[in-house]
Structure 1
Amino acid sequence: MATVQGVSGKQYVRGTEAHTTASWQYATSTHKIDHDMNPALVIQPKDKNDIKLALKYAKENNIAVAIRTGGHQYSGASSTGGKNIQLDLERTFQGPDDRMVFSKDGETLVRISVSWPLGAFNAWLTKRGLFLPHGQCTEVRLGGHVQTGGYGQLGRSFGLFGDHVRIVEMIDHNGNEISVTKDTDPDLFFAILGGSPGNFGIITHLTLKVHRDRDHVGSRGLKALYWYNPKVLKRLVDILVKMSDDPGFPPNYDLCVSVLSSSFKLFDLWPELDGQMREDHPEVYGENGMPLGWPRTIIVYAQWVPLKDGDICDNSFFTQFDRDKLFGWVEHKAMSKLTGDWIFRNVREFEYPYVKRAYTTNSTNLQGQGWSEWVTKRIDAIVRPEANRCWLSAQLQAYGGKQSRFHINKDNGTSYSWRDTTMVAVLDCFHNKDAETTAIDWERGNDQEGIGPQGKFSQEDRRVLWGSYGDFNLDSVWDKYYETEEKYNRLKEVRKRMDPDGLFTPNTFCVKRAESPGRASL
């Protein structure tokens, strides 16, 4: 395939070694999926003009364009195949004018580009005493993150990252630069924030409402480490379930329980851990003072933040995690600093292919359903036998409660789904090439026992775009991602308007375009 004339950024043609590197996705070697994600051309635009030239070329040659900012889309949907082009915006907008703080109408706002990674964005906000809810992966870029919600540790207390969007700046299929707000184009605003990412245009910048440390003085958090033990895990999950099942649980608290198999690079997650663990647990270290390989662990992330005057922390929320704890203590920190503590500093958990699952439920009776015992046994079945060549990364997080901001923000003009969620359970099984069947069978067992009319976790299959897996034709499983046909049809109409020629239809993991008279649409 020829390169696009006039583009000043870098271009990589399929078949070259440089193309292989440039087209790499976080999930390149994920579980088996029946689609080819190998773009004919990768373009790394230098500026907006490069983007417009690429779109013009694609339109004239009947080529589709996939947009990626970080390449973390789990099923590879930020890429493409065939004769199509991938636009890689990972470094396009990282100049001094691509992030700024200002005030307007009584709100503190940030204008930021889609090219900034979460880790760098968080550090920049922290220096200014500002914070937002966001995810935990340091290299995730804001472009994909905002379109899929931006789930993270502050879900109950502050909602989603995408809930804070005020303006979306983008380039449409005709190469026009437009600004979208909830007032100027409510349907497009709705579709961008929760519809299939990258299928309505190319987002370049966002204006976000941010929170100030000085409005939440007294916040505190705990990151605690435990050696893996199923009895300890069951006790911790029971605490999480009790919180999730309680509709009146105060919105000030957030809690996540994680499980990591052996050999996880724990210092990447927890840089300050080294000195204390070297002193208290020398058995983890070799003669050269280097870790021998971390054993299986459980990590608890717990947080409290005052949301209004007069809020008082119940310290028993934190003391219940003291038992069996190896490391960690409650720290009184500004929210901007706590949000940095929740970030994973490594790009991915284990350097292996993996089978992805991200389950949600709206159950308020997980305790009665016996989910704590069931999920503990399922985790133990894959974590305990170290010879199975499988490695688990699990995150169990509460989102429920009538006062949860995750719920309250439901009707804020976005289309993020399943806003009645009480718990999210992420169970990612990494494996070497010889253990693929083991990983697939384990996840299939979780599906069969955990989901369905008699499911231990949820009575219906509820998926989120950031945790997509399985069927790659979104239109065939739309009801797993969107609650109602009315919502899905609304998204289809916006797709028809914003992508009439299929320019932003690089693969089948996208909302289908509503059909025009006499013409079927993908």
Structure 2
Amino acid sequence: MRLRKSSTKQYQLKLSISMSHSNLQPRLDGNSSALLLLLALLLLLQVPDAGAGLTAASTPVPSSSASTTITEALQGQREAQITATRAASFAACLRSIKGFPEVRLPGTPNYRDYANGLRIIRWHLPAAVVYPKSVPQVQAAVLCAVKFKVQPIPRGGANSFESLSSGDGALVVDLSEMGAVMVDVKAMTATVQFGARMGNVYSAIYKAGVSAGKNLTCLGGVWPQVGIGGLTAAGGYGSLSRKYGVLADHILSARVVDAKARVLLTNEQSNPDLFFAIRGGGGGTYGIVVEATVKLVEVPVVTVAHIGYRGLDHAVDLMERFQRWAPSSPSELTFTYNLVRAGSDIKLYYLGREAELRQLIHQRSGLLAYPGAVFRAVECDVLGSRGWLAGSGWAPLSCKSDNVEVPQRVKPGGLLMKDREASKYRSAIFTKPVPREGLQEIVALLRSPEKIWKLFQWKAYGGAFDSIPASFNAFPHRKGVIMHSEFGTSFGYQRSAAELAASRARVVWDYFARAAAVMDKYATDARYNGYVCLCDDVAQYFGANYARLKAAKKKFDPGNVFRNALSVPPTGGDTSLE
């Protein structure tokens, strides 16, 4: 800090400042108190010249408002010093964790890339990011966060559409260094650390099964880069779901680090309320799930298939047929119906032979009844089928296992970075078909002139969903639901929504609002927690299970240490982060 003479010959104080997120904060040295007092006096006294002396007779008496200004300035300086000291102590706490996990702090190279995940509708500036490699290191990180009153946020796959796997001023506990998968073929289980990405889980299980002469897998989603933690927290609809349910239905036990840094075993007998909550009850809410044991299934053969229609001329008829037949089709068949501006793309995943599927589709589905239909099918082993599902439906149909394994870490310049996107999606749950006029409205949205990405996706229910009770775990969407939808748009890659030109961003927001209004007319009030949106109410994700989840939250995290904008609050609490 130094004094310089202004053009009006009055002295001004020039402070070195630093930008922290959106606030300007002064950097003050050890003489800050005296300098701030001098600053206040100089501004009050309006010194006319650097050489002018001050006498008792000529010195104005500071007014009460001037005294208040001085007091506030000194108080602000003291608070800044306390904040800086606290931040340094917090960083020292993290760096002193036994085994020295990697710690990233603001101001270090590429910090924004480490601080944020793969979905970047908004950027966050957390207080630190820590990469524990063991459960004791997770416990120690939680203790540091609680001691310094910093919000801990667990991060697994970092795929939250609302960027909830990071937060301003928070401690991001990134579990990507904890991705071990231990398979017990005899017991038909896998014990998985909850930093693992699903592609790596599938691959490890498959390799262990092949060595024992079995074709094994677990329940999961479609995209290999999705983390097992976030998928389990949402429920986990995937390519085997109409036969076996969701991933959360196959979790046998788990270990959770709670707000007191204890490791709690959860299963049907031990901490059953917590076990209920972590299976489909939302992510980052009840503690940090560090490991779970998952039940495996044997899948001897899979037929993957694709039905494609270019253009939207038959989209209404095709979707009308799909939503009336798919939920009642054999449970061995799971669908993903994508409707985009280019046309209809239906992916099919069948637990059986190609000839059986061809007969089913040609004779019973009615999905090939319209001109221009393209139907392709091929048999795969279970790992090869996972790889094809992750690709484009219009790509050459083949069994692909070389794109299933993915990097664990999101690193600057890394492979996962190419998928970093500011996307805006929402879910809808349907208990009856969308009427024809509703389908026409959806097609009209796709045909509207905005040159932006638009997607409406449907996944059929029925099958196992009709036989598993809604109270089995926190995932409530069971009997009576015929399909759920994911719909939305994108602001583009490698930038947040706020970084898009305002006029362009307005087009995206306006389209999303219109799409949501159309879907709301025909869907129920329920939502799927896998596609979170800040426009939702938390209770919509959990239906009749919401009260039990709030009670579990109050029991295991009454201080709401683990929280985000869409987490379940304790009974009697709310979702405020203040």
TM-score range, shorter chain: 0.7 to 0.9
Identify the match of residue 69 of structure 1 among 135, 140, 156: 156
Identify the match of residue 376 of structure 1 among 421, 443, 466: 443
User: Is this contact kept in 2: 1:150–1:160, CA < 8 A?
Assistant: yes
Cα-Cα RMSD? 3.1
The alignment status of 1:100 with 2:183, answered yes or no, reads yes
The alignment status of 1:490 with 2:572, answered yes or no, reads no
Q: Distance in 2 between matches of 1:409 and 1:299?
A: 29
In structure 2, relative to structure 1, the CA distance for the partners of 1:165 and 1:513 (3 Å cut) is same
User: Is this contact kept in 2: 1:224–1:329, CA < 8 A?
Assistant: yes
Aligned ranges 1:385-424 → 2 under 5 Å: 385=449, 388-399=450-461, 401=462, 404-411=463-470, 413-419=472-478, 420-424=480-484
Q: Distance in 1 between matches of 2:386 and 2:307?
A: 15
Partner of 1:33: none
Partner of 2:335: 255
Partner of 2:431: 362
User: Is this contact kept in 1: 2:265–2:271, CA < 8 A?
Assistant: no
User: Is this contact kept in 1: 2:179–2:197, CA < 8 A?
Assistant: no
Q: Distance in 2 between matches of 1:109 and 1:412?
A: 24
Q: Distance in 1 between matches of 2:451 and 2:549?
A: 42
Identify the match of residue 303 of structure 2 among 220, 230, 252: 220
User: Is this contact kept in 1: 2:117–2:420, CA < 8 A?
Assistant: no
Aligned ranges 1:48-127 → 2 under 5 Å: 48-82=135-169, 84-90=170-176, 92-95=177-180, 98-104=181-187, 108-127=188-207
State the AA in 2 paired with 1:496: K
Partner of 1:186: 272
In structure 2, relative to structure 1, the CA distance for the partners of 1:394 and 1:447 (3 Å cut) is closer
Q: Distance in 2 between matches of 1:448 and 1:311?
A: 37
Q: Distance in 1 between matches of 2:172 and 2:324?
A: 45
Partner of 2:324: 242
TM-score by length of 2: 0.70
Partner of 1:133: 219
Q: CA deviation at 1:324?
A: 5.7
Q: CA deviation at 1:328?
A: 5.7
Instruction: For residue 15 of structure 1, give the secondary structure of its aligned residue in structure 2.
Output: coil
Aligned ranges 1:313-332 → 2 under 5 Å: 314-316=360-362, 317=364, 320-321=367-368, 329-332=376-379
In structure 2, relative to structure 1, the CA distance for the partners of 1:392 and 1:350 (3 Å cut) is farther
State the AA in 2 paired with 1:234: V
Partner of 1:342: 389
User: Is this contact kept in 2: 1:12–1:18, CA < 8 A?
Assistant: no
Partner of 2:95: 5
Partner of 1:202: 288
Instruction: For residue 192 of structure 2, give the secondary structure of its aligned residue in structure 1.
Output: strand
Q: Distance in 1 between matches of 2:189 and 2:345?
A: 33
Partner of 1:44: 131
Q: Distance in 2 between matches of 1:81 and 1:471?
A: 20
Partner of 2:59: none
User: Is this contact kept in 1: 2:239–2:335, CA < 8 A?
Assistant: yes
Instruction: For residue 123 of structure 1, give the secondary structure of its aligned residue in structure 2.
Output: helix
Instruction: For residue 252 of structure 2, give the secondary structure of its aligned residue in structure 1.
Output: strand
The CA deviation string for residues 216-247 of structure 1, in whole angstroms up to 9 with x for no partner, is x5x422034443x1114334323312224x6x
User: Is this contact kept in 2: 1:302–1:318, CA < 8 A?
Assistant: no
State the AA in 2 paired with 1:187: D
The CA deviation string for residues 90-130 of structure 1, in whole angstroms up to 9 with x for no partner, is 1x2234xx4222434xxx11111112212222233333211
Partner of 1:271: none
Partner of 1:300: 346
Q: CA deviation at 1:182?
A: 1.9
The CA deviation string for residues 326-355 of structure 1, in whole angstroms up to 9 with x for no partner, is 866221334453233212469699765332
Q: Distance in 1 between matches of 2:190 and 2:551?
A: 31
TM-score by length of 1: 0.77
Give 1 or 2 for the bigger CA radius of gyration: 2
In structure 2, relative to structure 1, the CA distance for the partners of 1:464 and 1:320 (3 Å cut) is closer
Partner of 2:559: 501
Higher RCO, 1 or 2 (CA under 8 Å, sep at least 6)?
A: 1
State the AA in 1 paired with 2:110: A
Instruction: For residue 468 of structure 2, give the secondary structure of its aligned residue in structure 1.
Output: helix
Instruction: For residue 530 of structure 2, give the secondary structure of its aligned residue in structure 1.
Output: helix
In structure 2, relative to structure 1, the CA distance for the partners of 1:223 and 1:449 (3 Å cut) is closer
In structure 2, relative to structure 1, the CA distance for the partners of 1:380 and 1:348 (3 Å cut) is farther
Partner of 1:429: 489
In structure 2, relative to structure 1, the CA distance for the partners of 1:325 and 1:156 (3 Å cut) is farther
The CA deviation string for residues 427-481 of structure 1, in whole angstroms up to 9 with x for no partner, is 1211352422222222222222331xxx2x21x3221222111347xxxx23322
Instruction: For residue 354 of structure 1, give the secondary structure of its aligned residue in structure 2.
Output: strand
The CA deviation string for residues 266-319 of structure 1, in whole angstroms up to 9 with x for no partner, is xxxxxxxxxxxxxxxxxxxxxxxxxxxxxx454221133259xx9996242578
Partner of 1:282: none
Q: Distance in 1 between matches of 2:417 and 2:251?
A: 27
Q: Distance in 2 between matches of 1:189 and 1:66?
A: 19
In structure 2, relative to structure 1, the CA distance for the partners of 1:249 and 1:328 (3 Å cut) is closer
Q: CA deviation at 1:374?
A: 3.0
Q: Distance in 1 between matches of 2:360 and 2:107?
A: 60
The alignment status of 1:445 with 2:502, answered yes or no, reads no
Q: Distance in 2 between matches of 1:352 and 1:189?
A: 33
Further displaced range: 143-152 or 341-350: 341-350
Q: Distance in 2 between matches of 1:318 and 1:125?
A: 33
Partner of 1:353: 422
Instruction: For residue 103 of structure 1, give the secondary structure of its aligned residue in structure 2.
Output: coil
Q: Distance in 2 between matches of 1:110 and 1:446?
A: 41
Task: Give unpaired runs (5+ residues) of structure 2.
Answer: 1-86, 210-214, 392-402, 404-414, 493-499
Q: CA deviation at 1:46?
A: 2.2
Q: CA deviation at 1:380?
A: 2.6
Q: Distance in 1 between matches of 2:359 and 2:192?
A: 33
State the AA in 2 paired with 1:70: G
Q: Distance in 2 between matches of 1:463 and 1:172?
A: 27
Q: CA deviation at 1:139?
A: 1.0
State the AA in 2 paired with 1:299: D
Further displaced range: 148-157 or 428-437: 428-437
The CA deviation string for residues 345-395 of structure 1, in whole angstroms up to 9 with x for no partner, is 6969976533212211111x43x45443332222232xxx4xx33112332
